[in-house]
Structure 1
C-alpha cells in the first residue's frame, strides 16, 4: 500500500447569519473554492446569491458543481475531482444537505488521492 496522510476534517456552519462567516472561514484555507450544490433550492431561497456575494467580497475564485443528485453517482465525484485537480482548488464547499455534503467530501478525497477512492475504499476495502 502507498503511504499517505488522511484528514477528513469537516466544518459545518449552520443557522441564522452563518453565511456571513463563510468568506472568512474559506479565506483561512485558500482562495479557490469548488461550490457543490443540488438541484436548485439554494437558488430559489436566495442562499446561492448570498454565498456568491460573501465569497466574491473576499476575492475568492469560485468554481461550481451544480445539480448534485440525492444519493449522488460516483461520476459526479470523479467530475468534481477533475475540476479540483485542473483548477488547483483548495477547498470544496458543500451548500445543502447530506447528499451534497457526502459528495463534496468524496470529491475532496478523490482530488488528492492517486488511486480510485470508490474502488479502494468501498469496493476493495483497501484503505483502513
Structure 2
C-alpha cells in the first residue's frame, strides 16, 4: 500500500486552500509595532529643547544683594523665647495642679454635704418614728 495515494473520498475532493485572513493577530500586531518603531527611528531628529550651558554660578543671596556675613546674635537674645516658653509651660502646669486640687476639695465638700444631709434625714426619721410610738 502506497501512503502517498489518497484513498478516502474526503481527501480526493478537498484541495489545499490558503489560511483565512485574520487568523494570525499576533503576527499583525508584531508587524505594526515594528513599523511604528521604524517610523519613530526614521523621523526622529534632535530634541526640541536644549539647555544652554550655564556660564557662571550665581547664588540667590548674591542676586538679591544679601551679604554672607550676618550680625552676631547674642546668646541671651536667642535663649529669651525659649525661656518664655519654659516659664509659660511651668505656669500652665502649676495652674493645672491648682485646678486639680480645687476640684478635689470641691468633691470632698460635696461628699461631706451629702453625708450631712443623709445623717439629718436619718435623725429626722428616727425622731418621727419615736413621736409616733409615744
Normalized against structure 1, the TM-score is what? 0.14
Q: Could you say which structure has the larger radius of gyration?
A: 2
Q: Which has the larger share of helix?
A: 2
